[in-house]
Structure 1
Amino acid sequence: MKFQVSIEKQSDGTYIAYNTNVDGLSLIGVGNTVNEAKADFFNSMKEVAETYDEGEKIPQCLKADPVFKFDLASLFEYYSVLNVSAFAKFVGINDSLMRQYKRGNTYISESQLKKIEDGIHTIGKEFASLRLV
């Protein structure tokens, strides 16, 4: 079992990473950047695993690579190579609205989130299949 970990930008501008799918085991990581929050989360995994006595079975999720989910602010901070305005145009969302989504200034509907996620997956598939000459 893998940790599903959400990464979100907090109101103070810092980032938090926390697991969402393992009952009885809650870990967090925080930092000024997404990378710092992820590193702190990995450190929390390591520290919790070290608390188990020899012979005790360490939960498998502490040995596996987490699966990260991002809010939009965290996504664009972590993947800074993505230009918010260009990406908005690519997925067919007004660039001003996309910047508001990124800042967390406005509500994002499920259909808009799906449109954004589908756009990310499309780009990923295209990058994965392209070859340079």
Structure 2
Amino acid sequence: MPLNQNKEQVMTLRVIIEVSGQELWGRIEGIGRFMPTTVGSSKKEVLDNLLMLIADYRKHEGQEDEAWGRIDPGQVAFEFAYDLQDFFQEYSILRQEKVAELSGIHPELLRQYASGEKYPLAEHAMKIEHAIHALARALLAVSVYAA
């Protein structure tokens, strides 16, 4: 689901990120009659552009779009979704072999996903996502000692 709302009325919008050369493309799908899509050189630039697009849409042609009318551009948070090829390009610091091991997926198959040669089934994508989140939790528990 692309949209989430909590008690403070902050809306969480899912931004699908794709990498093309040095550019990042971002889009929000599945809300009303509008799919804001933009490009930028950084996530911040993509998000700033999306906020401008949303505000402009609401002010002009989207005045009657109830779905977007509930969204205040000043009260949004973003979460990111990547296809695996773009994820491993954006986070090239991660070792694909370790993610494959943690997810229980053969390393060669993960390399094919990361290169765009093959596309994962939803079950494999979920296993990979869980492995990446487990790795992030493990890193959050790390303390670095300086003598």
State the TM-score, normalized to the length of structure 2. 0.68
Q: Give the distance between the partners of 1:93 and 1:13, measured in 2 at CA.
A: 29
More strand by share: 2
- Would you say the 8 A contact 2:25–2:46 is kept in 1? no
Deviation at 1:9? 4.8
Deviation at 1:102? 0.9
Q: Number of matched residues?
A: 126
Counterpart selection for 1:16 from 15, 22, 25 = 25
Which amino acid is 2:52 matched to?
K
* 4+ residue runs over 6 A deviation: none
Percent sequence identity over aligned pairs: 24
Task: Give 5+ residue unaligned stretches, structure 1.
Answer: none
State the TM-score, normalized to the length of structure 1. 0.74
Q: Give the distance between the partners of 1:47 and 1:108, measured in 2 at CA.
A: 31
Q: Higher RCO, 1 or 2 (CA under 8 Å, sep at least 6)?
A: 1
- Would you say the 8 A contact 2:19–2:90 is kept in 1? no
1:89 and 2:101 correspond? yes
Specify whether residues 76 and 97 from structure 1 end up closer, same or farther in structure 2 by C-alpha distance, changes over 3 A only.
same
Which residue does the alignment assign to 2:49? 43
Which residue does the alignment assign to 1:60? 71
Task: Give 5+ residue unaligned stretches, structure 2.
Answer: 1-10, 64-68
Which amino acid is 1:62 matched to?
P
RMSD: 2.9
